A and B are shown apart, each in its own frame.
Chain A
Amino acid sequence: MRRRPTTALVIVATAALAVSACGRNESGAGAATTGTDVTSGQATGTITVWAMGAEGEKLPELAKDFEAQNPGAKVDVTAIPWDAAHDKFTTAITANSTPDAAMVGTTWMGEFAGLGALDPLPGNIDSAGFFPGAQETTKVGGTSYGIPWYVETRLVYYRTDLAKKAGYTEAPTTWEGLKEMAKAMQDKAGAKWGIGLQAGGTGSWQTVMPFAWGEGAALDADGRYSFDTPQLLKAVQYYQSFFTDGISDKAAPAQPTTEPDFVSGKVPMFISGPWMMSAVEKVGGEGFKDKYAVAKIPAGSAGSSSFVGGSDFVVFKNSKQRDTAWKFVQFLADPKTQAKWYGMSTDLPSVQSAWDDSALSGDDKLAVFGDQLTTAKAPPSFPTWEQVVASFDSELEKVTKTGADPAAALKTVQQQADSIGTGQ
């Protein structure tokens, strides 16, 4: 008779799980949960893994190391083009045909976790070694659903040779300083535009938010969107002033020509991520490496911050090889693997200790990225973030191009964000 209560408990628990899994509010809001521990020992079985872009092409090579360490395991990598990836994931989730593990863009985490597709991070996988901002991108409603795989953050790029002409030997650390330097580039160093800033449109929030975060803005205060704040207003006003003062081009072409403009000196400053290093050096040719430098985003009253992006690695709930999949993820998070992966892909490691590797610590410019990453922040992980931020980008375009009032623009964004809701 001792069995009965246990059986009853199991039935109740299963029923509760079934009910909670079918309801509309399965987005994981509420108490944080951790997944069951991953078993120790070697991984076995075959797992399928999806990865996008260049990462998808190079990952099979890295996976060979995993297979060598775990002779019983096999990793099947499917490379997916970036533009098709989001649709492919949502279709797979709807049809219950997800892979075992996958690389996922940081801004998609909220949506996929909201769909109930992701397995929570097992409690015995250590997540303390990652950059805090990057670790935050894996969290939805307090629960972590994966690991940050690689990271990127945005810095100010500037031409050191032209800066010298303009009277600067190093980049300023304040808002006013940055603007003065950009102006001096126009006045004294012959630049057409002082600094290349995106005049609104898709993704421009990524350049504005670092300034707002530097002022201490929080986009998800009290579990709802908050755009209509003094901090964000200050950042948008500052951003707008570059366009109204003629320092940035409000009619920048739809297809940015950042690299050639930077090399020719037409636009000797811009804000972007680490991939731009190889891009400008490719256009600039031999020796261009020594003609530019990178600097942290100038600090606001709350310090210097930037946008942290990159990709996370997740395991799907439907995985039949859950433990092998998490072991593969564990392998990807290993500092040694991360340093090796940097060598293969130039993707920046998300594990802080991997930065001790000489390939990274020996590079002055990379060191600045590493420094900025310690304070870089991620946007809120609400499932509707992509939709809400589209309206922010659209309003920002009016602010930069037509001189619309930043306060009114933020009110509009706030209204739209409220009517869209967080989706949780």
Chain B
Amino acid sequence: MTTTTAPPAPAGESTAPGGGRRTRAAARREGRAAWILALPFSLLFLAFTAWPVLQSLFMSITDTRSRDLRTPFAVDVTGFENYAKALSDPLFLQSMRNTAYFVLVGVPLTLTVALAAAVALDRGIHRLRSVFRLGFYTPVITSIVAVAVVWRFLLQTDAGLVNTVLGWVGIDGPNWLGDPTWSMPSLILMATWRNFGTGMIIFLAGLQAVPWHLHEAAAIDGASAWQRFRHITLPLMRPTILFVSVTTGIGYLQFFEEPFVMTNGGPLNSTISMSMYTYKQFGFGNYGYAAAISYIIFVLVAVVTAIQFRLLREER
């Protein structure tokens, strides 16, 4: 035992219980150890996450352009000018509308497909279950760029597989990626195909946690399969659905790779997303403006997530 750990208690201070000091010292020691253990992460976090976040927040209220990075203190603080500019920038508003379209159609579609697939796998033929599970999940772990490139080939107007197959049944397929009416549906289709696997795996775990005896009891009472699904499975799955819809929603609000690889935002800016517009502005060297836009996206993601929590958390 060393002097640092348990110094003898001076007389007249014996009001504290005998072990009090030692415990406090141990707690201090533990606290120090905790700080030392947390230090590497904290430093990395401060340097590579917290600092850039603060820096970009500052940048968003300046007129920083690429050439100012070498002389960072020469920039002019312009206050909320960048934010005001974004909200009156027709192309940014268009990108907001496009993103809203993508999220409002894409998230429910992905959730529905994921849930349907999970239910099918949960109730389906047991021998083939793992094969299907793997098959449905594979797109998720495939590189999005590879997926997008393959889909670009599939969706070609004349030579693409999709239109060739449609041609066999006498349908004249549309110009999927070249027609502004079809470009966004094409991207949503692809995103759904690629992403529903994640939700499916989580739903599958949720479904397997639904107690079987509740179904059995309801079946004895004469409830149909749909009634059991509607009144037993769905309510019990609520937390799972919340989780999947929030994560999918956040992902879709930031969608980027699909238009970047497949359409480059076109035709007629019909697929440019908020993230892609930010990326473009960074590419043009308008760092201050791009930082402001990314903060707008951040606020939107927070608001949408809060709304999702509201909608799905009630009636618990």
Chain A interface (Cβ < 8 Å from any Cβ of B): 22-24, 26-27, 86, 90, 94, 111, 114-116, 200-202, 251-255, 257, 383-384, 386-387, 390, 394, 397-398, 401-402, 423
Question: Contact check: which of A116, A200, A255, A402 meets B67 at CB < 8 Å?
Answer: A116
Chain A residues with CB under 8 A of B284: 384, 386-387, 390
Tell me if B268 and A402 are in contact (CB < 8 A): yes
The digit string for B186-207, where 1 denotes a CB below 8 A from any CB of A, is 0000000000000000000000
The CA-CA distance from A24 to B263 in the complex, in Å, is 36
Assuming the contacts A201-B266, A401-B268, asked whether A254 and B178 have C-beta atoms less than 8 A apart, the reply is yes
Tell me if B70 and A423 are in contact (CB < 8 A): no
| Supplied contacts A254-B264, A257-B158, A383-B285, 19 more A-B pairs, CB within 8 Å | A22-B71, A24-B68, A24-B71, A90-B66, A94-B69, A200-B267, A200-B268, A201-B267, A251-B179, A253-B178, A255-B152, A255-B156, A384-B284, A386-B283, A387-B285, A387-B286, A398-B268, A401-B267, A423-B65
The CA-CA distance from A27 to B67 in the complex, in Å, is 9
B74 within 8 A of A: yes
Closest to B91 in A: A394
The CA-CA distance from A41 to B158 in the complex, in Å, is 60
Chain B residues with CB under 8 A of A23: 74
The CA-CA distance from A423 to B66 in the complex, in Å, is 11
B159 within 8 A of A: yes
Tell me if A254 and B70 are in contact (CB < 8 A): no
Chain A residues with CB under 8 A of B267: 200-201, 254, 397, 401
- CB of B69, distance to nearest CB on chain A (Å): 5
- CB of B71, distance to nearest CB on chain A (Å): 6
Assuming the contacts A86-B283, A254-B266, asked whether A94 and B158 have C-beta atoms less than 8 A apart, the reply is no
Q: Which of B262, B285, B286 has the most CB of A within 10 A?
A: B285
Chain A residues with CB under 8 A of B179: 251
The CA-CA distance from A252 to B178 in the complex, in Å, is 7
Question: Contact check: which of B74, B175, B280 meets A24 at CB < 8 Å?
Answer: B74
- CB of B77, distance to nearest CB on chain A (Å): 14
B157 within 8 A of A: yes
The CA-CA distance from A94 to B179 in the complex, in Å, is 40
B118 within 8 A of A: no
Tell me if B67 and A254 are in contact (CB < 8 A): no
Assuming the contacts A24-B68, A115-B67, A201-B264, asked whether A253 and B156 have C-beta atoms less than 8 A apart, the reply is yes
Tell me if A253 and B157 are in contact (CB < 8 A): yes
Chain A residues with CB under 8 A of B266: 200-202, 254, 397
Tell me if A251 and B268 are in contact (CB < 8 A): no
Chain A residues with CB under 8 A of B68: 24
Chain B residues with CB under 8 A of A251: 157, 175, 178-179
B177 within 8 A of A: yes
Tell me if B157 and A202 are in contact (CB < 8 A): no
- CB of B263, distance to nearest CB on chain A (Å): 6
- CB of B311, distance to nearest CB on chain A (Å): 37
Assuming the contacts A24-B71, A114-B67, asked whether A254 and B177 have C-beta atoms less than 8 A apart, the reply is yes
Q: Which 8 A-B pairs have the closest CB atoms?
A: A387-B284, A254-B177, A253-B157, A94-B69, A253-B178, A115-B67, A254-B178, A251-B175
